[in-house]
């Protein structure tokens, strides 16, 4: 019986490691548009925006917004997978204990313990990963970039340097929000 418990424990550990790797891949994958580089943050010293450059800036801002949106969706998926997965696993563990027959009780207890461990692991992963906070920070940054795009479209901002400084400010604010830093 001890040998089968060790086998189940090893199997559960392998499954959890695969789940962690899968979540890491989901969260850290880069949007396909810029291959992980940030050329959109390179300042260009043109002072005023003619019509063709305004369209170029609008396209660039839309690309940045799409990148934030992709990251938001990935963090949201990881957050929901952890929370819903933990709820399902812990519920299943309790259900197994309630529905088990007396002759299979030791095995069922082992399986229920592994399920409860997996649920606790998912909650810990979610808490340490900060998926919800990081996702919301990307969502806020996406909305700020969209506001900036509207300002450029309306001609309220015509200086590329000002656009660049606002993008950098939004990125810094997103970073502060992702780590939970309070604004002053």
Instruction: Please write the tens of the pLDDT for every residue from 6-38.
Output: 666 666 666 767 776 666 666 665 454 444 444
The arithmetic mean of pLDDT across residues 129-147, rounded, is: 90
The fraction of the chain above a pLDDT of 70, given in percent, is: 70
Q: What is the pLDDT of residues 61-99, one digit of tens each?
A: 899 989 999 999 999 999 999 999 999 999 999 888 888
* Total Cβ atoms within 10 A of residue 137: 23
C-alpha 34: how far from chain center? 18
Q: Which one is predicted more confidently, 54 or 1?
A: 54
The closest alpha carbon to 121, from 8, 15, 38, belongs to 15
Q: What is the pLDDT of residue 32?
A: 46
Architecture of domain 2-12+55-178: Orthogonal Bundle (1.10)
Residues contacting residue 144 through CB under 8 Å, at least 6 positions apart: 170, 173
Model pTM?
A: 0.64
* Total Cβ atoms within 10 A of residue 25: 10
User: What is the spatial distance between Cα 166 and Cα 144, in angstroms, rounded to a whole number?
Assistant: 9
């Amino acid at each position: 019986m001890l040998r089968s418990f060790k086998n189940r424990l090893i199997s559960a550990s392998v499954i959890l490691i695969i789940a962690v790797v899968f979540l890491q891949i989901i969260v850290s994958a880069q949007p396909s548009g810029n291959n992980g580089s940030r050329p959109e943050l390179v300042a260009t010293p043109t002072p005023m925006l003619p019509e063709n450059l305004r369209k170029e800036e609008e396209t660039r801002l839309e690309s940045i917004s799409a990148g934030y949106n992709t990251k938001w969706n990935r963090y949201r998926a990881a957050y929901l997978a952890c929370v819903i997965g933990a709820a399902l696993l812990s519920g299943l563990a309790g259900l197994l204990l309630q529905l088990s027959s007396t002759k299979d009780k030791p095995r069922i207890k082992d399986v229920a313990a592994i399920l409860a461990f997996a649920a606790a692991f998912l909650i810990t992963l979610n808490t340490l990963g900060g998926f919800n906070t990081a996702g919301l920070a990307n969502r806020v940054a996406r909305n700020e970039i969209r506001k900036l795009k509207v300002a450029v479209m309306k001609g309220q901002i015509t200086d590329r340097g000002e656009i660049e400084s606002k993008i950098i400010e939004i990125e810094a604010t997103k970073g502060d929000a992702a780590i939970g830093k309070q604004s002053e």
